């Protein structure tokens, strides 16, 4: 399953969608949801990279429900996957709560115009709050082991910034560059901690043991892994339903020459063909080119509007006679502002606005110079 927010662009297929905007996944919200067999979406955005992305989530060949969830916020440069634990409704609620927390955090970040560091900090706080809600819900119901793994891609907001992988659990992020696959994240699992390369070498009772996840404790510590991201890179986020069925090296082969939408379908089909023992979710993000920073563009527009407004003030200050001239002397002394004073203040504001405009233009030139 997956959830949408106002900035999540949907393809023709639906997922586990809310009838109305989902900003917080509570039980009353879940009652509004309608399940669809497959979930898929695709999107394209241009800040600070031109990127094309797609997702497909499937319940697999064994499970009767889908506890996976995913979210895309291309205008903020964030994509994420959550894999619920706890069985049936509890896993679904945990993964939904996790993605909803991301949506809520990015809603605030968009309003604040947050930079990359602030966006990551906001996501940490939002996921910790979600972890507490999931933990307390399970405790109140007398349950244990409820939670959700989590992985998110956060693209840098400046041309010289790295991308970031935030994660807890065994949902993963990969980068494919020049046909070579690199796993960016390390699983928080018993298998990974034991250094075992082949899962079957581990006692079955430990194979699925997760050492860190959202909701298993009142707080969650997300690993933040910065990594180099360039034009031409393909980034894959996925739940373990894919990685348990498909080897890392096969990710490049299965997706080569395919669009993000076709690549996600190929990955899900391969996992199901190998047995589909778990829910499987794949998100594919292609970095196609560097784009102009929208925030800087909006800043320039705002500055131009400010310049125009200040220019009007200057004009008014020059041509409109002082309204104080007909007042008694006592009243004039109580109003120190004159047309000359207003003109001087307006001209100072105009100079400041021009300086800000030049600074913003310089930053945009920096972005343009970094383009290949």
Per-residue pLDDT of the chain (372 residues; tens, 9 = 90+): 443 333 333 222 333 222 222 223 333 333 333 333 345 656 665 456 678 999 999 999 999 999 999 999 998 899 999 999 987 578 999 999 999 999 999 987 765 667 899 999 999 999 999 999 999 999 998 888 899 999 999 998 887 789 999 999 999 999 999 999 999 999 998 777 766 766 666 666 666 788 999 999 999 999 999 999 999 999 999 999 999 999 999 999 999 999 999 999 999 999 999 999 999 999 999 998 765 444 455 555 556 666 666 666 666 655 545 444 454 545 545 445 555 666 666 666 666 666 666 666 666 666 555 555
Q: What's 261-323 look like in SS3?
A: HHHHHHHHHHHHHCCCCCCEEEEEEEEEEECCCHHHHHHHHHHHHHHHHHHHHHHHHHHCCCC
Answer yes or no: are the C-beta atoms of 270 and 309 closer than 8 Å: no
Q: Report which of 146, 103, 102 is spatially closest to residue 127, judged by C-alpha positions.
A: 102
Residues present in the chain in total: 372
What pLDDT does 11 receive? Answer: 28
Give me 259's structure tokens.
């669009």
Q: What's 112-178 look like in SS3?
A: HCCCHHHHHHHHHHHHHHHHHHHHHHHHHCCCCCCEEEEEEEECCCCCCCCEEEEEECCCEEEEEEC
What pLDDT does 262 receive? Answer: 97
What pLDDT does 198 receive? Answer: 66
What pLDDT does 191 receive? Answer: 78
Question: What is the β-pairing status of strands 223-227 and 163-168?
Answer: antiparallel
Burial annotation 296-306 (CB, 10 A radius, 16+ → b, else e): beebbeebeeb
- For tokens 């499987």, the residue is 280
What pLDDT does 173 receive? Answer: 98
What phi-psi label fits residue 87: left (phi over 0), alpha (psi between -120 and 50 degrees) or beta? left
- Does the predicted model carry a pTM greater than 0.85? no
Answer yes or no: are the C-beta atoms of 184 and 152 closer than 8 Å: no
């Amino acid at each position: 399953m997956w959830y949408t927010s106002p900035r999540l662009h949907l393809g023709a297929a639906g997922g586990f969608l809310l009838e109305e905007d989902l900003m917080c996944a509570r039980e009353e919200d879940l009652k509004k949801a309608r399940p669809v067999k497959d979930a898929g979406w695709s999107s394209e955005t241009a800040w600070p990279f031109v990127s094309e992305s797609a997702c497909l989530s499937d319940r697999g060949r064994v499970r009767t429900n889908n506890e996976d969830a995913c979210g895309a916020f291309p205008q903020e440069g964030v994509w994420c996957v959550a894999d619920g634990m706890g069985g049936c409704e509890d896993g679904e609620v945990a993964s939904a709560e996790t993605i909803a927390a991301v949506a809520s955090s990015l809603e605030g970040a968009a309003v604040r115009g947050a930079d990359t560091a602030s966006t990551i900090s906001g996501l940490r706080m939002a996921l910790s709050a979600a972890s507490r809600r999931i933990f307390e819900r399970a405790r109140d119901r007398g349950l244990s082991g409820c939670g959700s793994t989590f992985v998110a891609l956060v693209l840098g907001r400046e041309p010289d910034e790295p991308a970031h992988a935030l994660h807890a659990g065994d949902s993963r992020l990969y980068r494919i560059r020049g046909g070579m696959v690199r796993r960016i994240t390390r699983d928080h699992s018993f298998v990974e901690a034991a250094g075992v390369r082949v899962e079957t070498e581990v006692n079955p009772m430990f194979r699925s043991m997760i050492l860190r996840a959202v909701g298993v404790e009142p707080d969650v510590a997300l690993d933040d892994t910065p990594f180099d991201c360039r034009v031409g890179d393909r980034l894959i986020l996925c739940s373990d339903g894919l990685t348990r069925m498909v080897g890392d090296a096969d990710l490049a082969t299965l997706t080569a020459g395919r669009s993000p939408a076709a690549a996600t379908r190929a990955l899900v089909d391969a996992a199901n063909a190998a047995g589909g023992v778990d829910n499987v979710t794949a998100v594919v993000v292609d970095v196609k080119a560097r784009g102009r920073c929208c925030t800087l563009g909006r800043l320039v527009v705002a500055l131009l509007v400010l310049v125009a407004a200040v220019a009007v003030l200057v004009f008014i200050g020059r041509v409109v006679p002082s309204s104080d001239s007909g007042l008694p002397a006592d009243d004039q002394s109580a109003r120190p502002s004159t047309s000359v004073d207003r003109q001087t203040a307006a001209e100072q504001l105009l100079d400041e606005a021009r300086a800000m405009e030049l600074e913003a233009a310089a930053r945009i030139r920096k972005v343009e110079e970094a383009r290949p």
